[in-house]
Structure 1
């Protein structure tokens, strides 16, 4: 490791614009996309801001770690799907659940009552064509000025990346799955 000297002056320009709602995308093949979105949700909730989380691939009855803690904290989190496509018994039903879920999320965003709306794993239904990209982009463009929307999932469409204010790509460098270590509660759930 090469040591570096701490900076003594700011190396980025001081922002001069107004505060407003943002479109934030967490994408890429690495771990941490949902975790980063949940961190933002916790940060906003900690400041007394209204937050709503929609999970496009989780079932409504899911009780993963995030569901348990968000329930304790009073942050609404809602599963909209029936699991990942390779677990689905009926892809047409999965597609309908995703579209129905989008209708809920779209209404929440448009209502403007939440400071932040998280659309966790929305990239899957976008990429599968279950939720029309044009409709999502239109909703994001027309959202009330103070609403921040955080979208997660692999393979974010270029049109969404272009529209977003902040895009972070999680890069896979090393993963325990590669060594044969299975998913672990409290880390992957």
Structure 2
């Protein structure tokens, strides 16, 4: 057991760095001999972190829990089904005793847009074993989830080159 006491963390807000912060935690966990399960909602596998996580071997289990595209507008039934299925796999991983850390990337957004039921995410949080560190990322974290968390960090955009027309760059934002 790596952590005698794990905590629940949320990284939210409109600023850059939520996923990056969670991946930094994953790196530290693996560096301390731990195992990490990462489920990414709303993202396909076409992000540099997906390729990079493969270098960790069986220390990191990484999966995407969606249809491979950002959901624009109302999620389809297929989008919802895949996301709910991914949330269930994350819950089982969290309860398995195999992982020290579970990261649900963009889970806050997934709940906010109705991709996964807020109640299901709250139930997962409530089931967290004492020794597991649980990390939720994404904009629009629900106030009730933030109340359940032990740590909440709100990323605030002060200035971003995206506003000057710079597209997401491979190795930095993508």
TM-score (norm 2): 0.91
**Is residue 128–residue 134 contact of structure 2 (8 Å, CA) maintained in 1?**
no
Larger-Rg structure: 1
**Which runs of 5 or more residues in structure 1 are unaligned?**
1-17
Match of 1:187 in 2: 172
Rounded to whole Å, the distance in 1 between the matches of 2:103 and 2:34 is 13
Q: Deviations over 1:7-49 (max 9, x none)?
A: xxxxxxxxxxx95111000000000000000000000001110
**Is residue 110–residue 139 contact of structure 1 (8 Å, CA) maintained in 2?**
no
**Is residue 50–residue 62 contact of structure 2 (8 Å, CA) maintained in 1?**
yes
Q: Deviations over 1:124-159 (max 9, x none)?
A: 220122322222222212221101110000000000
**Is residue 26–residue 169 contact of structure 1 (8 Å, CA) maintained in 2?**
yes
Match of 1:84 among 56, 70, 74: 70
Deviates more, 1:143-152 or 1:30-39: 143-152
**Deviation for aligned residue 1:87:** 9.1
Match of 1:164 in 2: 149
Match of 1:121 among 103, 106, 113: 106
Rounded to whole Å, the distance in 1 between the matches of 2:160 and 2:151 is 25
Rounded to whole Å, the distance in 2 between the matches of 1:162 and 1:178 is 32
Match of 2:50 in 1: 67
Coordinate RMSD, CA, aligned: 1.8
Question: Tell me, what secondary structure is at the counterpart of 2:33?
Answer: coil
The number of equivalent residue pairs is 169
**Deviation for aligned residue 1:63:** 4.1
**Is residue 112–residue 143 contact of structure 1 (8 Å, CA) maintained in 2?**
no
**Is residue 95–residue 125 contact of structure 1 (8 Å, CA) maintained in 2?**
no
Question: Tell me, what secondary structure is at the counterpart of 1:114?
Answer: coil
Match of 1:146 among 115, 121, 131: 131
Question: Tell me, what secondary structure is at the counterpart of 1:159?
Answer: helix
**Is residue 100–residue 133 contact of structure 2 (8 Å, CA) maintained in 1?**
yes
Match of 1:4 in 2: none
Match of 2:83 in 1: 98
**Is residue 101–residue 134 contact of structure 2 (8 Å, CA) maintained in 1?**
yes
1:14-33 to structure 2, matched below 5 A, reads 19-33=4-18
